[in-house]
Structure 1
Amino acid sequence: MGMRILQETRDEIVRLYSKNVPIKELMERFGVSRSSIYNYLQLDRMHRSTNGNMAVTFRKITSMESELERLRLENEILKTCGCYIDAPLSEKLSGIDRLSNKYSIHLLCRTLNVLRSTYYHHSLRSPEQPLWEKEDAEIRPIVQQIFDESKERYGTRKLKAELENRGYEVSLKRLRRYMKELNIKSKQTQLKYFSSSNRKYMYRRNKLKQQFLQTAPNLVWVSDVTYVRVAKDFYAICVVIDLFSRKVLAYEIAPNNTAELIITTFLKAFELRDRPDGLLFHSDQGTQYTSYKFRTFLRGLGVKQSFSYPGIPYDNAVAESFFSSMKVEELSHHFYDVSKDLFRDVAEYVEFFNSKRLHQKLGYKTPDQIEAMYQNGELEQLSSKLEA
């Protein structure tokens, strides 16, 4: 049989409840059940009623407490979610996302007047990918492909030009971001070779005078020699380039830089171009180019000679630029133990230079493309590209 509670104890429970002491604390302090406390409260309200209205029931008390708790939580949600009931739907959905770990979705949606079906559709669907992210996902692998095809030689400007050839408009700033994200960087100079000479120069006429833009093939060819180390020796590389298209017409590699090397290279280009008339051949004043043997050889073919002024490499800038590019983009990244590796890499680079490498001075066209345009009679379009 349950313990009887004195009237004084009941009155004390009612008094403390009216002072906002929680029911749970009253249960623990006086050792009574929740239903008993509600019964005491009901009896107290019935005794206090003076107008004969309906008495407060246990259900009404419980409902009122639940309503008060709900209102408290709703007020708390409105203070912390950062938006109001009449805010745009996107803001309310974001607020629900932020508070979903603290409050129930049902309560959040009710407080902010959002249908639960609307919220679940928002939270479960895949977020729409922005247009720039879609473009990045499409273009980034193409940038990597072009860079790999150039053997890591292309920088931002040539990558941009090649992308335009493939139908993609990309700014340099965006392209630099792609290269940073892909962790790619064009090859840089690692090895440089220098030569010096104390010989005295004779005056030789510079007929070219840095007129590097020519209007047709086989008007002016330029030539130069550079050196590459193979094991403990140095090999000489000689090239002949047509100024019109910047195409490497011929090249030769030999252990020694001799007049025979220059003659062999020139003759190879001369035969390839069907022995053109009225040709001007420009070079620096290296001993092989100024030798009696080579000058006599050119005169016999009806070729005029032009020379750079001593100490002014800009007079032969096109040939110098080719060797600089080949060293930066290929040769300086290898140490050659045997000559066959050098022969292989030079052959590969010359093929790349003529058929694939985009040239800024040629309107980001390759030498082969420029010559094909000339052969097809596209001279006006070609001229506008060169002038730009």
Structure 2
Amino acid sequence: MEIRKIYDRDFRINAVKLALESNRFKVAKELGIATTNIYRWQAELKKYGPDSFCGGGHFRNPEQKRFSELKRTLKQKLKDTELEIEIFKSASKYIPQGKPMIFHFIENNLDTYPLWKMCKVLGIREFTYYRWRDKILSPRQCQTILLEEEISSIFYEYKERYGNIKISAELQSRGFKLSPAQVTFYMRKLGFISKFGRRRIIKSGSLFIPHNPCVFPNVLNRQFKVEEPSQVWVSGITSIEIATGLLFLTIIMDLFDTKIIGLSLSDGLTIKETSIPAWEMAVHNRKTKKGLIFHSDRSPQYANKMFTRKLNSYQDIRRSMSRQGNHLDNAIPKTFFTSLKSEIVDLNMLLTKKQIEEKIFEYIQNQQ
């Protein structure tokens, strides 16, 4: 690519003078420039006189300077606005999901956009982002995490058979002084229930925790007829006996068309095996909207901080729970489970986990 030549002011004035004194074509050839340059320089000298040939960064008058600065400023603002729109479009699907997902978006796009610009567009203070990234924990939070890890380790080490009393004793042997009542608190928070207590809890429908801030009033109040999608979602959990033990089926149903939009089939009853994966599948299959009522019973899989935080990360979702001992408050999932079991359970023999999975998915597909 040929490099563009730059001619200073004196050179241009001399070239114009020589062209006026003799033949411009001859002058252009001798100076090694295009004839059109001489024509253009002559016209500029005639028009602007002494103010001709200012060069880059120089202006003939203050007004021209102001115009150039305004033009440069507007170009920069336009560029900034286009970048902000691009950031907002890229982050639009994360914004309704709350700050944690916005933080993850920022973390994943640091190589694409400036941090300060993303924080400005998304309404996040840089300090808040850094605090989330560095996960600054207080000593009390560190102690809580350590206890939760120890309780989780014991619970799974003993094949989910230990309850609060045995876990408390095991913690004592490991150097942790925690009463059975305190262990119960952590087990409920983590969604842990020993295998010996599961049948009783499933049959009773709920395990009421006094003064539990994650228990909500019965907003739905048995109003099971709705007119729009994503107006009311109901959820429930049931146990299914198989050859090797028990499986636990969690469903989320949209009352508008009674379609199962989320489900989880698990070996355990922890929050991460039941309500959380069912919810994630539901929001993937169907969009939430403002005013959505999520109704369930009061079992620990729903009445806990982890699941409550999950739902709170979505905008304007109203929680609703059955009243204690009122199974008809959540009658729709129970009716579904009764119909399902009548179709898939073989009275003559217990099926394997794989066979049950196939029958459940086939039944749900035929019902939709």
Q: Normalised by the shorter chain, which TM-score bucket? A: 0.3 to 0.5
TM-score by length of 2: 0.42
Structure showing greater Rg: 1
TM-score by length of 1: 0.39
